[in-house]
Structure 1
């Protein structure tokens, strides 16, 4: 009897989800449907295919995003506007995360609609929330470790956008942006892309260096973890490794983060591995890079 009751409740709940999806198509009912569907992301496993394959739904979500563009410049975004569009972004993150819809999501170039939000610099809470939620969509993509995601992102301006946020965003935004950069670097094509020219490498190294100096003053273990992992991955490239021997911040060599590292063994291990990589100037390195740092191309 209890089983039958739970099945009935599940059927009723599913009908409500279908109804909210239908309500997204109507501008008058959309505002209520957005938060209701957003709450269901964790409990309805196939919500992403339902959203993607239902008529007009993705167009409605993109309309919510485009409608906010005029509030970006001049900066006039309200908390109500930010909450509403972030509910739409949360549903897009659901689509970006799902294996059945991710490829189509990329083929439709939907992440590009979010980039205007990542360009914003206002430090007010509505804008910060908007940037963080937009980064969450990109973070959901890179978390899958799929080649097609990195291939797509490397054709866009995501790296400079992340670097800007890493330099001037809130701690949480910096953490997500650095995580995205880390995931791009961990892919061979991403590492090759960043280390291909002096300008790309030096921009990344400069921002990471600024972050280390800032973290020495205001420590954040979770942010430090991603920064160290980025440095370690850069050290896998022979030319970048040679350059890092000259430009690695002293704070990483001088135990400035000993308190943080005592509680985080993985970050401590990565840092020790990084320092070992930079100390080991092997003959094979010399053959590969002519014992010279990364040069301008």
Structure 2
């Protein structure tokens, strides 16, 4: 799960696949062999999908499909349109609800349900199944996992994989997706993970909040009330403070991008003029951002925006406003 700037992390097991051989490209014997393998791969995928509906075979099918989902073409439509398959995956999810509180989830149970979640991420990522996936309200089944507090590995893995499904939805800019998520509790749930999750979970959760803010309706939603702005701003501020002791360039990048987007709202920009963490202004992270020119530019633009916005200068095109200062205690 390497770089979140333009996408949600993908499993590393397929990231380093070697390029095809010249024979497979040129249509020689290797190409013919590869073409002959495709029907066998699809037949294998179809059989594994059928196995999901058999309780005795489901665990192995979950494991094999989650490991090989990148090499099975059109696996998402196959999963979505096969009779009983999504119901079987949801059955895997709800079966561990009793283990969430009190937190008694075992590593084996966590791995199994995370394999099911990996297949749902596949469905959430595919352009033909993303919107039907939303309309069926499947993401809501994942929210109990994001509402957990245990920091043990099984729960952390469960939260991270659940965030991966939501991240797959927001990765492609789609106002319908953002509109759906804003009708749910996704922002408070992401903020909770940003406060108490692992560095990787915090990064994915912040990426989701960033993508919501980058959509106009998401920015309007967060800045519509002082309470919403304060909830997001206070969590971002606490994360900046914690990064001074435990630096993470990739997490800092998404925090800065969230702040920059908030500064596009005039009222929020006035509030940020007074409440933006000093560590973003005094060069604390200069070394961390030394090799990341894009994030340095974002930070420079953020500081410019809040300076001009706080003075009500022409850069913002608005006069000074009370903004959201009152709820920041300013």
TM-score tier after normalising by the smaller chain length: over 0.9
TM-score normalised over the length of structure 2: 0.87
Query: What does residue 163 of structure 1 align with?
Result: 191
Which of 174, 177, 192 pairs up with 1:146? Answer: 174
Q: CA distance change for structure 1 residues 289 and 115 in 2, over 3 Å: closer, same or farther? A: farther
- Residue 193 of structure 1 aligns to a residue whose secondary structure is helix
In structure 2, the partner of 1:266 is 294
- Report if the CA contact (8 A) 1:162-1:177 is conserved: yes
Matches of 2:248 and 2:30, distance apart in 1 = 48
Whole-angstrom distance in 1 between the partners of 2:101 and 2:313: 54
Deviation (angstroms), 1:168: 1.1
2:322 to 289, 292, 295: 292
| Cα drift, residue 42 of structure 1 | 1.1
Q: Summarize the alignment of residues 102-121 of structure 1 with structure 2, pairs less than 5 Å apart.
A: 102-121=130-149
Q: Which runs of 5+ in 2 are unaligned?
A: 1-28
Greater shift after overlay, 275-284 or 237-246?
Answer: 275-284
User: Which stretch of structure 1 is more off in the superposition, 76-85 or 283-292?
Assistant: 283-292
Deviation at 1:13, TM superposition (A): 1.8
| 1:262 partner SS | coil
After TM superposition, the score normalised by the length of structure 1 is 0.96
Contact (CA 8 Å) 1:235, 1:277: kept in 2 or not? yes
1:5 Cα deviation after fit: 3.1
Q: Deviations over 1:58-102 (max 9, x none)?
A: 000000000010110111100100000000000000000000000
Task: Give the Cα–Cα distance (whole angstroms) in 1 for the partners of residues 316 and 92 of structure 2.
Answer: 54
1:239–1:289: 8 Å Cα contact kept in structure 2? no
- Are 1:72 and 2:86 an aligned pair? no
Does the aligned pair in 1 maintain the 2:199–2:251 contact within 8 Å?
yes
CA apart distance, 1:3: 4.2
RMSD after superposition:
1.5
Give the equivalent residue in structure 1 for 2:232.
204
Does the aligned pair in 2 maintain the 1:72–1:120 contact within 8 Å?
yes
- Matched-pair contact (CA < 8 Å) for 1:208–1:227: yes
Shift of 1:10: 1.9
Tell whether the 8 Å contact from 2:312 to 2:320 is kept in structure 1 after alignment: no
1:132 shift after superposition: 0.1
Q: How does 1:83-102 map to 2 (within 5 A)?
A: 83-102=111-130
Could you say which residue in structure 2 is the equivalent of 1:122? 150
Q: Which has the higher helix share?
A: 1
Cα distance between partner residues in 2 of 1:288 and 1:187:
22
Name the counterpart of 1:5: 33
Whole-Å separation in 1 of the counterparts to 2:156 and 2:271: 34
Stretches of structure 1 that go unaligned for 5 or more consecutive residues are none
1:243 aligns with one of 249, 271, 278: 271
2-side partners of 1:208 and 1:70: how far apart? Answer: 32
Cα distance in 1 between the residues matched to 2:313 and 2:114: 53
Q: Pairwise mapping of residues 192-231 of structure 1 onto structure 2 (< 5 A)?
A: 192-231=220-259
Aligned-pair distance for 1:284?
Answer: 6.0
Q: Does 1:282 align with 2:312?
A: yes
- What residue is the counterpart of 2:21 in the other structure? none
